[in-house]
């Protein structure tokens, strides 16, 4: 055999001569035969005791159950791959056998090569099934999902960027740029998660720093670009927090870049302020704002006409189930509070 490990095979066959011949064939092929038994009761007992790598099960055997029912019981209790052996090609029997989800069929009489190939395939298929159930497989699958989502976002942003090159209307160009930035804010999350060692958590400080730096650089100001002041003490966040918070930051910072620093005197530095903290009882506080011109004292976020501000309100109240306060003492600072989100399946 070409494997380092010698596989252990259990044979369930009630015809003595056939059983002896099959045992010799298997040993000649390099397998270890853990047991040769004639009945359903013995098959189950030996399967539990020996835990073979595969079982060759004749459909017609002695005992209270036939091979099909015995296979169903063994599969349910011990998760051992089973290959049926039969001298009959009865359609009704085969349909019933399918319900037990066997790993293959051997029609008697069979050659050494046929037996060897069927066992190899059964063991390989069983290992693949176990791997698919494992955390490693789920991690690989999730990483591939993030990669595909990231690529899809990249296609969309590329299309928006190409389309915007033909737009001369300033208002329409701003709409395209806002849409581009919103999509890029979500795409960046999937990029970061794909690169991360832990797909369940995002490095929020790194994400926000990159997001806002790119956002600030995407705007052309007559004065110097504002400096970025970050105060983030929450190391990682989950996807259900990262996406709404990322979009909120994107909208507020975009608003600051459009309006907050128009009247800043030359030489006076503008600031974009972002903070993210976690208190007791899983309470989060997200702070986003600027030290710019400020907004009117009677500004009501619930009645905002711009899509960006309506999006901020909906993300805070509906998605995060939180509250939002606006401080206009020095510029405009949004203080958003919310609790850790309860995902499906949590108490």
- The CATH number assigned to the domain holding 283 equals 3.30.565.10
Co-location of 163 and 30 in the same domain: no
Whether residue 66 lies inside any domain: the answer is yes
Co-location of 225 and 341 in the same domain: yes
Q: Is the pLDDT higher at 60 or at 130?
A: 60
Co-location of 115 and 225 in the same domain: no
Co-location of 114 and 60 in the same domain: yes
Whether residue 3 lies inside any domain: the answer is no
Backbone angles phi, psi at 325, to 5 degrees: -125, 145
Q: Is 4 helix (H, G, I), strand (E, B) or coil?
A: coil
Q: Helix, strand, coil proportions of the chain in percent (round to 5)?
A: 50, 20, 30
Quote the number of domains for the chain. 3
Domain boundary among 100, 133, 166: 133
Burial letters for 316-339: b for 16+ Cβ neighbours within 10 Å, e otherwise? bbebbebebebeeeebbbbebbbe
Q: How far is CA 38 from CA 31, 67, 80, 258, in A?
A: 20, 10, 18, 82
Co-location of 347 and 224 in the same domain: yes
Residue 44's pLDDT band (cuts 50, 70, 90): very high
Whether residue 1 lies inside any domain: the answer is no
Q: How much is the average pLDDT of 144-169?
A: 78
Domain coverage including residue 33: 8-133
Which H or E run includes 271?
strand 271-278
Q: How much is the average pLDDT of 71-78?
A: 89
pTM over 0.85: no
Co-location of 116 and 31 in the same domain: yes
Residue 347's pLDDT band (cuts 50, 70, 90): very low
Residues 285, 288: Cα–Cα separation, whole Å: 10
Let me know: does 295 contact 346? Beta carbons within 8 Å.
no
In this structure, of 37-46, 69-78, 194-203, 227-236, the range with the lowest mean pLDDT score is 194-203
Co-location of 189 and 269 in the same domain: no
Whether residue 269 lies inside any domain: the answer is yes
Predicted local distance difference test score (pLDDT) of residue 49: 94
Co-location of 326 and 340 in the same domain: yes
Cβ contacts of residue 249 below 8 Å, gap of 6+?
185, 208, 211, 212, 274, 286, 288
Co-location of 86 and 151 in the same domain: no
Co-location of 62 and 17 in the same domain: yes
Co-location of 224 and 325 in the same domain: yes
Beta bridge partner(s), residue 285:
277, 337
Count of Cβ atoms closer than 10 Å to residue 76 Cβ: 9
Co-location of 238 and 302 in the same domain: yes
In this structure, of 33-42, 206-215, 299-308, the range with the lowest mean pLDDT score is 299-308
Taking each continuous run of H as one helix and of E as one strand, the counts in the chain are 10, 12
Domain boundary among 82, 105, 133: 133
Backbone angles phi, psi at 81, to 5 degrees: -65, 140
């Amino acid at each position: 055999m070409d494997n380092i490990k010698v596989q252990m095979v259990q044979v369930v066959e009630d015809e003595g001569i056939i059983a002896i011949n099959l045992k010799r064939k298997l040993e000649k092929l390099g397998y270890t035969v853990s047991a040769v038994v004639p009945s359903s009761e013995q098959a189950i007992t030996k399967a539990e005791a020996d835990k073979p790598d595969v079982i060759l099960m004749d459909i017609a055997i002695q005992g209270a159950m036939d091979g099909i029912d015995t296979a169903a019981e063994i599969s349910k209790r011990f998760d051992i791959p089973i290959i049926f052996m039969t001298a009959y090609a009865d359609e009704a029997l085969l349909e019933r056998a399918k319900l037990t989800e066997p790993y293959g069929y051997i029609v008697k009489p069979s050659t050494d090569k046929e037996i060897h190939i069927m066992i190899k395939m059964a063991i390989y298929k069983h290992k693949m099934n176990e791997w698919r159930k494992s955390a490693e497989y789920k991690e690989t699958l999730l990483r591939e999902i993030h990669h595909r989502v990231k690529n899809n976002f990249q296609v969309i942003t590329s299309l928006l960027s190409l389309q915007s090159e033909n737009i001369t209307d300033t208002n329409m160009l701003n709409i395209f740029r806002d849409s581009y930035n919103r999509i890029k804010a979500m795409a960046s999350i999937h990029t970061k998660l794909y690169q991360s060692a832990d797909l369940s958590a995002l490095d929020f400080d790194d994400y926000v720093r990159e997001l806002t730096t790119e956002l600030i650089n995407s705007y052309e100001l007559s004065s110097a670009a504002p400096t970025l002041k970050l105060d983030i003490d929450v190391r990682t966040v989950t996807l259900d927090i990262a996406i709404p918070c990322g979009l909120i930051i994107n909208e507020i910072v975009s608003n600051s870049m459009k309006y907050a620093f128009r009247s800043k005197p030359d030489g006076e530095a503008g600031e974009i302020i972002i903070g993210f903290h976690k208190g007791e009882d899983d309470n989060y506080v997200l702070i986003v704002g600027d030290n710019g011109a400020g907004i009117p004292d009677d500004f009501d976020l619930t009645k905002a006409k711009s899509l960006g501000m309506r999006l901020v309100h909906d993300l805070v109240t509906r998605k995060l189930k939180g509250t939002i306060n606006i401080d206009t003492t020095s510029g405009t600072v949004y203080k958003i509070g919310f609790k850790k989100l309860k995902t499906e399946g949590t108490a």
